[in-house]
């Protein structure tokens, strides 16, 4: 730490992140839970990865296990096609994106839903790609899906809303437009025509894989503890 202008501050942000992770590790889980609820997918701070390295067992047992099961249940179905529709009904209920004057997608908004807000931190806890986002395999592919949907909306009258982007940047000007696709508008046929079907399947497969891994670790630890200390109910 350094002292300057009557204040102490960390010389480098990583020190602050490390000691934050240590504090959370040593805190009651109610404090950790609040931190997880306020964290968001795509965050680039290192507190969560550090905390996972220090306290993975407790976090997975007390939070990840329930969160991944809630997400899995919400996108369940009798077959993969039912599950794809469930993704857009329960998880991806709104898809916002921006188009510039030349028709190129310049930004992608995060999926809109209470479920996404509750579980989005899972993306960062268990990264599967460079974006730290389970719903985004790559920008170009998803951008193409949205462009395809926008074209279909003109040809077939599919619902699409023009929206005001809350966070503006230097790329935005009077010729840029922001749109929102309601998840309820995504039918199986529309999903396949636009490519959103493959995007949803990628998310489903990622959730299934991570869920299997988390359940296996949590149940393995519980079984080990029972064998080591004995089952009080026996």
Of 104-113, 167-176, 186-195, 221-230, where does the model show the most confidence?
186-195
Check residue 42 and give its pLDDT: 46
CA distance 114 to 156: 30
What tokens appear for 92 in the block? 């991806």
φ, ψ for residue 189, nearest 5 deg: -65, -45
Whether the per-residue pLDDT at 30 is higher than 90: the answer is yes
Note the pLDDT of residue 120: 82
- Give the chain's end-to-end CA distance (angstroms, integer): 53
What 3-state class would DSSP assign to 8? strand
Helix (H, G, I), strand (E, B) or coil at 9: strand
**71-108: b (≥16 Cβ within 10 Å) or e:** bbebbeeeeeeebbbbbbebbbbbbbbbbeeeeebbbb
Q: Do 87 and 75 meet the contact criterion of CB atoms below 8 Å apart?
A: yes
217 lies in some domain? yes
Domain presence at residue 123: yes
pLDDT digits (tens, 9 = 90+) for 201-210: 999 999 999 9
- 105 vs 46: CA distance, rounded Å: 29
Mean pLDDT of the chain: 84
- Rounded average pLDDT over 36-52: 75
- Residue 49 is predicted with a pLDDT of 87
By the 10 Å C-beta count (0-12 exposed, 13-18 middle, 19+ buried), 30 is classed as exposed
Q: Is the pLDDT of residue 22 over 50?
A: yes
DSSP state of 165: -
Check whether 163 has a pLDDT greater than 50.
yes
Higher pLDDT, 178 or 192: 192
pLDDT band at 17 (very low <50, low <70, confident <90, very high): confident
Report yes or no on 188 lying in a domain. yes
pLDDT band at 38 (very low <50, low <70, confident <90, very high): confident
pLDDT value, residue 12: 43
Quick one: pLDDT at residue 39? 73
pLDDT of 134 reads 84
Residue 148 lies in a domain: yes
155 located within any domain:
yes
CB atoms within 10 A of CB 196: 24
What is the structure's pLDDT at 166? 54
In 3-state terms, the chain is what percent helix, strand and coil (to 5)? 60, 10, 30
Domain that holds residue 149: 55-229
Q: Is residue 106 part of a domain?
A: yes
Is the pLDDT at 4 greater than 90? The verdict is no
| Mean pLDDT value of segment 224-231 | 62
Q: Give mean pLDDT, residues 19-24.
A: 92
Is residue 137 a contact partner of residue 125, using CB atoms and an 8 Å limit? Answer: no
**Residue 162 carries which DSSP code?**
E
DSSP letters, 56-110, are HHHHIIIIIHHHHHHHHHHT--SSHHHHHHHIIIII-SEEEEEE-TTS-EEEEPP
pLDDT at residue 232 above 80?
Answer: no
Instruction: Measure the CA–CA gap between 44 and 51, rounded to whole angstroms.
Output: 14
Average pLDDT in the 176-185 region?
90
Distances (CA, A) of 12 to 6, 18, 50, 56: 18, 10, 15, 25
Q: Tell me the HSE value of 212 on the side-chain side, using a 13 A CA sphere.
A: 5
Residue 21 located in a structural domain: no
Domain count, the chain: 1
Asked if residue 8 is part of any domain, the answer here is no
Percent of the chain past pLDDT 90, that is, above it, reads 52
């Amino acid at each position: 730490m350094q002292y300057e202008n009557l204040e102490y501050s960390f010389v480098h942000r990583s020190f602050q992140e490390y000691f934050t992770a240590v504090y959370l590790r040593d805190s009651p889980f109610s404090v950790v839970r609040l931190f997880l609820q306020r964290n968001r997918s795509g965050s680039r701070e290192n507190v969560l990865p550090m905390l996972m390295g220090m306290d993975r067992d407790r976090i997975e047992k007390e939070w990840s296990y329930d969160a991944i099961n809630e997400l899995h249940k919400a996108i369940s179905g009798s077959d993969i096609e039912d599950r794809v529709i469930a993704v857009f009904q329960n998880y991806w209920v709104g898809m916002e994106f921006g188009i510039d004057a030349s028709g190129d997608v310049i930004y992608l908004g995060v999926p809109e839903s209470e479920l996404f807000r509750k579980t989005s931190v899972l993306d960062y806890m268990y990264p599967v790609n460079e974006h730290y986002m389970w719903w985004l395999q790559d920008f170009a592919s998803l951008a193409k899906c949205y462009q395809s949907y926008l074209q279909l909306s003109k040809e077939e009258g599919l619902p699409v809303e023009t929206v005001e982007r809350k966070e503006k940047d230097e790329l935005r000007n009077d010729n840029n437009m922001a749109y929102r696709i309601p998840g309820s508008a995504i039918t199986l046929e529309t999903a396949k025509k636009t490519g959103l079907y493959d995007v949803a399947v990628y998310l489903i497969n990622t959730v299934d894989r991570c869920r299997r891994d988390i359940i296996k670790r949590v149940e393995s630890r519980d079984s080990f503890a029972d064998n080591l200390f004995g089952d009080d109910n026996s």
